[in-house]
Structures are given as structure tokens and as C-alpha cells.
Chains A and B, each alone.
Chain A
Amino acid sequence: MIKMVDLHKSYRVGTEEVKVLKGIDLEIKQGSMVAIMGRSGSGKSTLLNIISGLEKGNGRYTFKDQNLSDKSLNELADFRRKHIGFVLQNCAMCDSKNVFDNVALPLRYGKYNEIEIQNRVEKALEAMELSGTLHKTVDMLSGGELQRVAIARALIHNPEVILADEPTGSLDEQTEQTILSIFKQLHREGKTIIIVTHDRQVADACEETFCIRDGKIRSD
């Protein structure tokens, strides 16, 4: 489903150019659940950003045989809206929006009508056992609840691929297990799950783990 060949990515820091990815070769099958591990600064998040179309790298990137390498960032935004659900680090939310509006955000960019948005958001929150939080502000929720809201937002537009960047990073063990079981359930439903993690326990729950070392990927 996702194939990357010889992917490079570098950033300019001041006057210097820092190479983060130095030739990534990666293939992720449809419906698989994989972990990406590596030290801090190894380029895990950068790889995730490229997979989601938030950034562009140099090299070949195909998604379901469609070449995304030559797409513009605006075209990649369209691709992201249709195919990708993203769970950010630390359950990032829009502070000025309530739970409903946070979850509805991908649908508003997808130009769904208000009735459909209402129905989908209610269903997504029900699936995460968060029906009573619809009009609450995000500061009223616990860490676990916030993460489930983030997952609801990532699923709201029914994407095929879920990307999660350290989804259990700031959670206690029990909540971590709850979140992990949600991902496993999604995997059973046929979603492709890609998780960036430091946590060996999370990686063990996945079918395959890729390690990034020296800008390249090693299958673990």
C-alpha cells in the first residue's frame, strides 16, 4: 500500500543543511499494524509527516500505486483529507474549540454538510465512549479522554491509514492499554496503523517494527 524508495529529507538549520533521512526504503502492506522506532532526532516524526503528505521528501513515494512524489503540498493536503487520519503527540487539540468542533475539523475541511457532520461526530464519540463530552471544552478532559478524542478525530472521515505519533507517550499504564486496544480493534477492522513510538511494549503489539538508524530504516 505504502512504498518508499530511496527517500531523502534534509532541513536547513541556520546556514547548515542537516540530513535527517538518508535513503529510506520502506514497504507497508494494506491492513498491517507497524511500529517505527528510533532515537530522538532520528527522523521518525519526519517519516510520518512524509507518509501523511505534510512534508515532501526527495525520492519515490507511492500510495496504492499512485505516485505522490510529484504532487504539490496542496494536492497532498487533498490526499491527506481522504486517506490519512493523524494522531499527534500529546493529544494536540485546538484549545478554543470544544470536543465537537475538534472532532469535526477534518469534516469541515472535507466540506461535509452540517447534518452529516453532526451524525458522524456523535457516532465517532460514541465509539470512543465519549458521548457525554460533546460540548465540553478540552481542558475539562483527562489525558486518556483527550487521546480518545484525538483518535475519534483521526477516524471521523473514515481514512484507510491511521498515523499515530507517540500516542501513549504521556499516559499512565492503564490508559496506555486502553489506547492500544483501540488501535488493535481498528487494525482488526482493516485499517492500516503506523505508530511512531519509543515504547517497546507498544512496538511488540504491532506486526512489524522498523528502526531508523543513521537516516536509514532497518527491519527489526
Chain B
Amino acid sequence: MNMIFTEVSESIRRSRTASYFIFFQIIMLFFLVTILFLNYASLDRKTDQAQTLSSLNRYQLSDTLYNDGELRKLMSQPSFLTILKRLYINLEENLDEKYIYAFTQPAKLLNYDDANKEIFRSYYEEGKRIKPSMIDNIGPYYSIKAIQMNKQAIDHFQITVMDGQPFDIEDFKNVNSKNIPVLLGYEYKNIYQVGDVIKGKYLFEDINFHIKGFVKENSLVTTARRSELYLDRYIIMPAQHFIYSPVDDASFKFQQKHYLQLINGEIHSSNNGYVVRNKFEAIKKESGFFDTQLLGANNPSYNFVFASINEHIGLLTLIAISVFIVCVISIFILMLDKVDKNFKNFSVHFISGANLNHIFTYFLAEIIVMVCLPGVVAILFYKFLVDVSFVWYLILMTGCMATIILLTIIPVYNKIRRLEISMFLKRAG
């Protein structure tokens, strides 16, 4: 073993420049392989649900009604609600892209002071305790985790009901009813049953939440604010379209507040920003509502680097293959050259008791060191810095290293095998 180590280190020192050049190439190759692997491996391993949208660009809608005075003025106009409703319907039905509305809007519920219900309160996981409040001298109302989702969001996050019934198309319409069907997260199973009614408030309106079913455990959605949101402790409300006109001022204001939320969803599209923006502008024009804008294409789950990589994946793959071929060719050219240039050295080894197997072993060991040293470093870096699908990465890198070693050692083996020892001795003299 010492002999092998000594001969390999001497050989690498003798051709320092070429060896360093090859080390650099191998490092480049493993870097590219790692990038490609990360791109193909899923970075969000929790569930397939979030991945259905992971390949789409996401564009956040945001109204531009920042000025309170301007907002109050608009809200005082009877036509404002009509415009809001029209915009929402157009976004839902006429945009020709996915319009995803998933917004966490706490519900206010009575009688939530039991110890077993504490986990459902808003900000429980963050360690905050929100004090219950009295509303119109009735209460206390507790702020409870709830999320409102439109039908497209329910479909695309594949929210599955394990007990009870899922939302149907009629549940997304409200014909002047205080009753709203809801689904409950998995952890509510021991507290309620299908058919139970929970009294509460939504946007300060009295609402009866009719429990229609319970969703599957670990159901996952992504929102603009949270890249991972598990629904186990949530009340899931359908984003309802109020078909009736409000009968009084309170109802009018309620519906306005409701729609001002509904129009701030996300557009998910495989088209680039220019195409989506054009469609959105057309919807705005048709709806008569211009106080809204489309924000940038930031996928909360993936950073810009990976988005760029995804864009040029074909080119990167081609570069990686080219670097691989260059590595293989460089290594075996270097090794074959070493066979030719070290006849004198080998002759000394032969007369000292070496045979051709020894000489072959030195070359094999040198190739293994040149390939596996950077490979092991790359694997260790990956394990400590990234650690995503590590076993598959290890298999990929091992296969890569083994392939390079095999392709480079075969020509060397063939050359050594065909040489007669006398040729070494003749050329040593």
C-alpha cells in the first residue's frame, strides 16, 4: 500500500501541471452534475400537491388602493362592488390562466377556551397568545386559523376529503345565506363530526360554519406568505361569490371587504410575464377596475438561480456531457503519455522485482486518486450543505466516478498488456 501511495504521489508531482488541469476539469464536471441533479431532484419533498404548481410561474396580484381616503371614496360608490365582482368573475372564468386564491383569514369562533382547542387558535405555533375579544357585547370570540380557497386552488392543490363530502360547485356561491359549508383539517376529527355547525364570525359577519367533511392528514398548500401550509389545524372555507345584492349598508361593506380580498390572488402560468401581463391588462379593462397590478415572478419555493438553471437545462446538460468526454480523454491521454515517458523508471522497478501487474496497479491507483479525491470532496460538501436526496446523489456520483475510471483505465491496460518488458529495458538504456 505504501508503495502504491509513494508511486502515485511521485507520478502526480512529475506531471504537476497536467494533473492540476485534470483535477480542475473533474471538479467542474462534478459541479455541473450536482447542479443538474438538484434541478431534477425535487427540493420540496413533502408532498406532490405543492409540486403540481412548482413548474409554473407565479404572479401575485396586488391592489394599489393604499390611500385610505381614496379607498373610502371608492367604497362609498354603489358601482364599486359591481366592479369588484366583475373583476373576480373575469379572473375566475375568463383569464385563460390558473387563478389561485388561497388566503389565510382567521375566523372568530365562540367557545374555544377548551384546552384541546388551543392548537387551532391563530399564531399558536408561533407561541403567541391572542386574547379573545367581545363583539357587540357577545363573546368571547377566539381568533381561529382559517383559510379561504377558490375552486381552482382546491383542485390544483388536490385537497382530498377523507371523511364527508368535498366542496361542489354550488358551495362557491352564496345566495344570501349565513350558512357556509366548510371542511376541517385532520386534527379536528376528534372534536367535531360531519354535519356539526360552528357559530362564528367572518369579517365581523355572523356565520354558521357547516362542517361538510375532513381533509386528509398533511394536506399541503402554498400561499404567497407561506411556502408550506399544512391544513391539519385549519378551517377551510370556500371563496364564495355572493350572487345577491347587499340589502343594507353593513352587508354592502361586508361584501366589498370580501371581494377586495378575493381579487388579490395569484396567477399561475407556464407563459412568460409578458404574455400573462397582457391577459391581465385585458381583464382589467373589461372589468373596469384599474387599481391593481401584477407583481414579479418569484416562486417562493425556488430561488432565481434555479429558475435560470431550469431555463437553460438543455445547454447545461450538453456542457456537462462535453466536460465528461474531455475529462475522460484528458486522463487517458495523460496516462498513455506517462507509460511512454516512464520506461526508465519502470525498468528499474522491473529489475527490482516488479511485474506488469504492479505497474498497472500504479496507473489504476493514480486514476482513482485523480477522480475520487474531488468526488469525495463534492459528496461531503453536498452532504453538509445541501443534503437533499443524498442516497441518490451518492449513487449518481459513484456511478459517474466508476464510469470515468473504467473508460480511462481500459486504454492504459491494453497498452501495458501489449508491451514486452524488454521494450522498457531497451528504451531505458
Asked if B354 and A109 sit within 8 Å, CB to CB, the answer is yes
Chain A residues touching B, range? 20 to 34
Tell me how far the C-beta of A26 lies from the nearest C-beta in chain B, rounded to whole angstroms.
18
Bound form: Cα–Cα A93–B351 in Å: 11
Bound form: Cα–Cα A55–B426 in Å: 13
Which of B2, B347, B350, B426 is most buried by chain A, counting CB atoms within 10 A of its CB?
B350
Asked if A97 and B10 sit within 8 Å, CB to CB, the answer is yes
Asked if A49 and B353 sit within 8 Å, CB to CB, the answer is no
Asked if B348 and A77 sit within 8 Å, CB to CB, the answer is no
Asked if A153 and B422 sit within 8 Å, CB to CB, the answer is no
Asked if B357 and A55 sit within 8 Å, CB to CB, the answer is no
CB-CB under 8 A for A89 and B428, given A55-B420, A74-B357:
yes
Partner of A88, one of B13, B348, B357, B422: B348
B345 interface residue per 8 A CB criterion: yes
Asked if B351 and A86 sit within 8 Å, CB to CB, the answer is yes
Bound form: Cα–Cα A108–B362 in Å: 15
Partner of A49, one of B345, B352, B425: B425
Question: Which B residues from 380 to 429 make CB contacts under 8 A with A?
Answer: 420-422, 425-426, 428-429
Tell me how far the C-beta of A11 lies from the nearest C-beta in chain B, rounded to whole angstroms.
7
Asked if B421 and A55 sit within 8 Å, CB to CB, the answer is yes
Asked if B348 and A102 sit within 8 Å, CB to CB, the answer is yes
Asked if B428 and A88 sit within 8 Å, CB to CB, the answer is yes
Partner of A105, one of B349, B357, B425: B349
Bound form: Cα–Cα A90–B425 in Å: 11
Chain B residues touching A, range? 20 to 34
Determine the chain A residues whose CB is within 8 A of the CB of B421 once the complex forms. Answer: 49, 54-55, 73
Bound form: Cα–Cα A218–B67 in Å: 117
Closest Cβ neighbor of B355 among chain A residues:
A77
Asked if A92 and B349 sit within 8 Å, CB to CB, the answer is no
Closest Cβ neighbor of B348 among chain A residues:
A94
Determine the chain B residues whose CB is within 8 A of the CB of A154 once the complex forms. Answer: 351
Closest Cβ neighbor of B349 among chain A residues:
A105
Partner of B347, one of A78, A92, A95: A92
B3 interface residue per 8 A CB criterion: yes
A46 interface residue per 8 A CB criterion: yes
Bound form: Cα–Cα A165–B14 in Å: 28
Tell me how far the C-beta of A142 lies from the nearest C-beta in chain B, rounded to whole angstroms.
19
B344 interface residue per 8 A CB criterion: yes
Partner of B3, one of A54, A89, A93, A108: A108
CB-CB under 8 A for A88 and B351, given A54-B422, A73-B356:
yes
Bound form: Cα–Cα A45–B422 in Å: 9
Tell me how far the C-beta of B346 lies from the nearest C-beta in chain A, rounded to whole angstroms.
9
Question: Which A residues from 93 to 122 make CB contacts under 8 A with B?
Answer: 93-97, 101-102, 105-106, 108-110
Which of B13, B344, B422 is most buried by chain A, counting CB atoms within 10 A of its CB?
B422
Determine the chain A residues whose CB is within 8 A of the CB of B429 once the complex forms. Answer: 45, 88-90, 92, 165-166
Determine the chain B residues whose CB is within 8 A of the CB of A96 once the complex forms. Answer: 10, 13-14, 345
Which of A78, A96, A101 is most buried by chain B, counting CB atoms within 10 A of its CB?
A96
Asked if A77 and B354 sit within 8 Å, CB to CB, the answer is yes
Partner of B352, one of A46, A95, A109, A165: A109
Bound form: Cα–Cα A103–B137 in Å: 102
Chain B residues proximal to chain A, CB less than 8 Å: 2-3, 6, 10, 13-14, 344-345, 347-358, 420-422, 425-426, 428-429
**What 7 new A-B contacts, CB under 8 Å, besides A55-B420, A93-B348, A108-B2?**
A49-B422, A73-B356, A80-B353, A81-B352, A88-B425, A96-B14, A153-B352
Q: List 15 A-B contacts (CB under 8 A).
A: A11-B420, A45-B425, A52-B351, A73-B355, A74-B357, A80-B353, A81-B353, A88-B425, A93-B344, A93-B348, A94-B348, A102-B348, A106-B353, A110-B353, A153-B352
